[in-house]
Structure 1
C-alpha cells in the first residue's frame, strides 16, 4: 500500500503524463503511463490512457494490449471496449475487433459510433450482409449519419441494387452537397456524363482501400490486367527492345510497374493516393514517386519520357483530349503510350453505373490523331470481374509522331 507521500507522487506523475498527452507528446506520455503502471499495475484508467497514446503513435498492437488489460480490470468500461475494437481493426484482427464492438454494444446498445465501426469492420472483412444490416440499424437510430448512409449506398451498389444505392447517395447529398463520392456515384447511377471524376473521389477511394487493394483485386477478383498489358506489349512489333525513361501513370501499389520490370532503365510513378504511393515505394522498383494529379505534374516538369503506362487509369478520366495532349507534350518522338480502357458499345465516352468511364475505340483513335499520337496496336481484353462477369476492354498502344 502506498504512503500518503507516495500517493501524491503518483498523482503528480499521472497529471504530468496527462499534460504531455494533451500537449501532443504521446511518446512522453506513454513512457510516464508505463512507469506508473510499474508501480500501480491495477490502474485501469492508466491502461486506457496508455492505449490512447499508443494508438495515436500508430502502435496499434501495443495499444490493443493496453485496452485489453483495461477491460480485464473493468469489463463495464464501454470506451475501453470500443477503443480495443478500433485498435484490433487496425491490426486486421477483424473477428476480435467485432467481439470488442459487440461487448461495447451489450453495454450501450444504441451507441451510433460503435454501431458504425462494427458495420465498417464487417464491410472490410467482406461480410456484406452483416454490414448492411448494421448500417441499416444505425440509420434507423440516426437518419443523418452521413458516413453510414454513404457506406450503405456503396454496399447496395456492390450488390447491384442500383436504385436503392442512388436514393441513399441522394440522401447523402441532401445532408452534404459537396460530398465527392456521393456526387460522383449519384451522377453515375442517374445517367450523367461529367467530363471527369472528382479528384477527391479517386484519391479517397484508393486511400480507403490501399491496405487490402492487392488482396481484393488479385486474389478475390482474379485481376491480372497489368500482365495482359505486358503480353500485348511483348506481341507488339513496334516496341523497342529497351526504353530509357518510363512513367507509370496512376501507379497504385505498383502492379503495372512489377509487370514491366526490365523494359526500361528508369521507372517513375505518380498517383493521387499517398497511401498507394507508400505501398508502391515498398516494392523498390521505382526511382521516383510523386503524389498528385497527372496533368498538373507533367505540366510542372521538363522531363520527357519514351514510355507511358496506364493500367486502369482512363476509367477515372472521362474526356481525354487534354490528357492526351499533355502526354504528347512530354513524350519523346517515337515514344509509346500503353493503356487500358473499358469498352463502350456506342458513343465516344460515358460514365457507367459502375462509376467508371468506358470508351469506344473510334473515340480513342480520333483523340489520338488530334493530339499527335498514332494508334499502333489495339487488342480486346477482359479487364476485371464484376458480379462474376468479365468486363470487356481494350489495350491500346500509341506511338508519338515526329
Structure 2
C-alpha cells in the first residue's frame, strides 16, 4: 500500500527536526509533488534547503509558501531569516514586519527584525524592537547584550550602561562585558582587555589594518625606532616584537636585529606579517604567556600594545625577566590626563605619564627616553602619547 501524502510530509518533517537536511529535502520534494498547493510543505522544504546552505532554493520555496498562504506567519518569519542570511536586508525587514503584522506577539520575528534593522543602520527601529521584547519579559542575556551593543552604537549610553550592569550582576565573571561596561562608565577597569576580544577584533581588521592606519597618519613604529636608535647602535640584537600585528615594526627594526621574533594574538594579522618575510619566527600567543618562556632578548618592543593592558606592572616585570643587563624595553602608550588608568570609549587603555613612570621605577627599569608625541590622528584630532625606552642595569 503506497504511503499517504500526510505520511510522506510527516517523515520529511521528522528528518528536518533531526537535522538530516539532504534526506529531508528528498522526502519533502515528494511531498510538494503530491501536494503542490501545500504551503506547509513548501515552508518545510525551504527550511531544509536553508539547512544545506542553498539560500536561492530556500527563498524560492519560502516565497512559494507565502504565495499559497498569504496569512502564513511562520513562512514570512522564515523568509526574513533566509533574506538576512543572504544579506538582502530590506527584504528581510519586510518579511519580518509582515510576520509581526499577522501575529503581533511573534517575538522571534520581532527579535529578527531588531537584529536586521541594526545591521542595516536603522538603530532607532532596532532599539524600539528590543525594548518591546524586554517589556514583554524576554530579557535573557544574549538579547540584553544585543540591546546594549545597539544602544551604544546609537549613542543611548544610559540604556547601554543599564543593560550591561544587569548582565554584570548575572555574569560577574564575564570579562568582555565587564570591560565594555568600564569603557562606558570610565570606572573599575579590569587588568587587561580580554584576549578573545583582541583576537576577534584584529582577525576581522587584518585586511584593512594598514590602509586604515595610513589614513590616521599612524607613526608608532617610526617613533619607536628613532627612540631606540638614540640608545642602541648594535645591528645583531635579539629582538622581540610584542603584538607585532602585520609587521609594521619589522621593517625599521630588521636592520638592527640579528634575530627578529614576532608574537601576536591574531592569526590573521600574523599571516600578513609572514608575507613580509621580515621575521625569523612568528608566534600566536598572549604577551604574558609568551614572556614566561625562558628566552633572553636584547630588545623588546611594544608599539601600540600597552593600550590593551590596564595594569602595566605584570608586563614590565615580565619583560624585565627576559632582558639581560644593558638590554632595553621600548614602548608607546596613549595618555590619560586625569586618572592613572582609564578605558576609553574606543576600548583602549589610557595611562597617565605619572603612573607609567611609577611602574617603570617599581619594576626596576631606568628611563633613557620618555618623550611626549603624537601617535596618530582621529577625527582630525592629535592623539597624545608617550614613546619611551627603558634599560635594565
Q: If the length of structure 1 is used for normalisation, what is the TM-score?
A: 0.70
Task: State the Cα RMSD in Å.
Answer: 4.3
The 1-side partners of 2:271 and 2:79 are apart by: 35
Between 1:392-401 and 1:234-243, the stretch displaced more is 234-243
What does the per-residue CA deviation read over 1:9-58, in whole Å, with 9 as the maximum and x for residues that have no partner?
x8899699759845xxxxxx54x56777998897743442232143xxxx
- Which of 282, 286, 294 is the equivalent residue of 1:288? 282
The 1-side partners of 2:150 and 2:309 are apart by: 24
Shift of 1:306: 4.3
Instruction: Return 5+ residue gaps in structure 2 as ranges.
Output: 34-40, 67-71
State the aligned residue count.
364
Q: Which residue of 2 aligns with 1:366?
A: 358
Q: Which residue of 2 aligns with 1:207?
A: 200
Instruction: Return 5+ residue gaps in structure 1 as ranges.
Output: 23-28, 55-62
The answer to whether the 8 Å contact 2:373/2:385 transfers is yes
What does the per-residue CA deviation read over 1:126-177, in whole Å, with 9 as the maximum and x for residues that have no partner?
5544443443344344452433433433344455554443223223334544
The answer to whether the 8 Å contact 2:183/2:344 transfers is yes
The answer to whether the 8 Å contact 1:373/1:398 transfers is no
What does the per-residue CA deviation read over 1:341-383, in whole Å, with 9 as the maximum and x for residues that have no partner?
2212245333456654321223222322332434333342155
| Correspondence 1:315 to 2:304 | no
Closer, same or farther: CA 243–281 of 1 in aligned 2, 3 Å: farther
| Correspondence 1:84 to 2:82 | yes
The answer to whether the 8 Å contact 2:326/2:391 transfers is yes
What does the per-residue CA deviation read over 1:241-287, in whole Å, with 9 as the maximum and x for residues that have no partner?
75765544345xx34x245346335443232xxxx424543563474
The answer to whether the 8 Å contact 2:49/2:55 transfers is no
The 1-side partners of 2:294 and 2:287 are apart by: 14
Closer, same or farther: CA 47–106 of 1 in aligned 2, 3 Å: closer
Closer, same or farther: CA 52–154 of 1 in aligned 2, 3 Å: same
The answer to whether the 8 Å contact 1:217/1:223 transfers is no
| Correspondence 1:298 to 2:291 | yes
What does the per-residue CA deviation read over 1:80-138, in whole Å, with 9 as the maximum and x for residues that have no partner?
324314522xxxx3xx1342243033113544444434434444455544443443344
Instruction: Please tell me whether Structure 1 or Structure 2 has the larger radius of gyration of its CA atoms.
Output: 2
Closer, same or farther: CA 47–112 of 1 in aligned 2, 3 Å: closer
| Correspondence 1:269 to 2:269 | no
Secondary structure, counterpart of 1:344 in structure 2: coil
Closer, same or farther: CA 147–339 of 1 in aligned 2, 3 Å: farther
Shift of 1:325: 0.6
The answer to whether the 8 Å contact 2:372/2:387 transfers is yes
Q: Which residue of 2 aligns with 1:249?
A: 242
